[in-house]
Amino acid sequence: MLTFRVEKLVPGGYGLARTERGVVLVKGALPGELVRGEPKWKKGTLFLEAPEILEPHPARYPEPLPPSADLPLAYEAQLPLKEALVSDALERVAKLEAPLAPIHPSPRPLAYRTAAQYARHPLGGLAYRLPESRELHRLEEDPLLAEPLAWAFDVLKLWPLPVEEVALRGSLLEGKVLLGLVGGVPEALKRPAKALVKEGFAGVVWAEPSPKGRFRGRVTPLAGERTLLEAFGPLKATVSVESFSQVNPLAAGDLLEEARTLVLGGRRALELYAGSGLFSLLLSPRYEEVVAVEISKEAVRRGEMDRNRLGADNVRFLRMDARKAEALGAFDLVVVDPPRAGLSPEVRAYLKETRPREILYVSCDPATWARDVGALVQGGYRLAFARPYEFLPFTHHVEVLSLLRL
């Protein structure tokens, strides 16, 4: 059994400590806390997953939080830690000393999430599935949920639905919630789905469980609407329970507002990993031609609906893999918002070969962002702007808005 003090927060939400056995990564511990436990080796690293907190951080958050909230710290104390994650990645991974703009806080530290997923607990109610053990942690409430998701959570706790999981997507703009039922038999769920719509849900779909991920198998509408309209700062765009949209629309709206002030405008713009094309629609007045590339059929469908509704006739959606971007030629601006793995080698090579005048890079992982920025700077770009954004309070996650120019 080891007793030691945590030194700092590192990517992945772990506290890092240096002990006589070596470096230990501690789950759920905050910088400065004195902890005790028996670390175990995993993939060549010592991990302590359930530490005993002997001396808590003075700003440790005292109220209950779901297990996904792995940064249980008073909100004002979270922001400098997240800003440090980005600056550390820039210095350590990208080998750059470029200054960061101050972190932009979330408009709401609690009640910000407009999307969430829960497992059905065998004894009733909703539960969070722990990533490592797959154990279920039963929840009575989730303070991270925005209204009307908090209402939906309370309703679903009492409904004995024969499904594996439920997924929620809400709209602050419309005050409505969409429900996804994962697993079970769709025919048997049609009557409960209609009853749930009468209860107040905007729409219900059924999804086939898939090892590839949620909503990667068959999806069948059961009752009500399939999409809602949400405000993301200057844009109103459709959201659905079936494909990804930012879960904190107020913070995402602030990022979009700033992003459109950074770029110069020009003839051609390209958005890779576009989702439903928020950046393409946002920047369409600044460019003659805008191409949005996305592999998700559902996201492209929503993007085309928004384009037609907004009259953005110069925006074209292509359903294709971003790794094949070389077939599209050169652009004045390329916008990238990749998954946590960052840019693929093919996309990095495409950017170096076609050399767009500007690259607007939005990232949800500081380490892979810094890796890609470092490679692009070596290829002749300079980091003209970078600001951390807080999208997910009470978690270790942090977003980055950045601009690279030749």
The verdict on whether residue 378 carries a ligand-binding annotation is: no
The verdict on whether residue 361 carries a ligand-binding annotation is: no
Residues 6+ apart with CB under 8 A from 114: 146, 149, 169, 170, 171, 172, 230, 239, 247, 248, 249
Provide the 10 A C-beta neighbour count for residue 141.
Answer: 14
The verdict on whether residue 117 carries a ligand-binding annotation is: no
HEC string for the chain: CEEEECCEEECCCEEEEEECCEEEEEECCCCCCEEEECCEEECCEEEECCCEEEECCCCECCCCCCCCCCCCECHHHHHHHHHHHHHHHHHHCCCCCCCCCCCECCCCCCCCECEEEEEECCCCCEEEECCCCCCEEEECCCCCECCCHHHHHHHHHCCCCCCCEEEEEEECCCCEEEEEEECCCHHHHHHHHHHHHHHCCCEEEEECCCCCCCCCCCEEEEEECCCEEEEECCEEEEECCCCCCCCCHHHHHHHHHHHHHHCCCEEEEEEECCCCCHHHHHHHHHEEEEEEEECCHHHHHHHHHHHHHHCCCCEEEEECCHHHHHHHCCCCEEEECCCCCCCCHHHHHHHHHHCCCEEEEEECCHHHHHHHHHHHHHCCCEEEEEEEECCCCCCCCCEEEEEEEC
Q: Which residues pair with 45 in a beta bridge?
A: 42
- Residues carrying an active site annotation: 364
Query: How far are the Cα atoms of 25, 70, 208, 361 from residue 38, in angstroms, in the given order?
Result: 12, 20, 40, 41
CA pair distance 148, 142, nearest whole angstrom: 12
Tell me which residue has tokens 């002030």. Answer: 261
The verdict on whether residue 337 carries a ligand-binding annotation is: yes
Which positions make up the binding site for S-adenosyl-L-methionine? 246, 273, 294, 337
Which positions make up the binding site? 246, 273, 294, 337
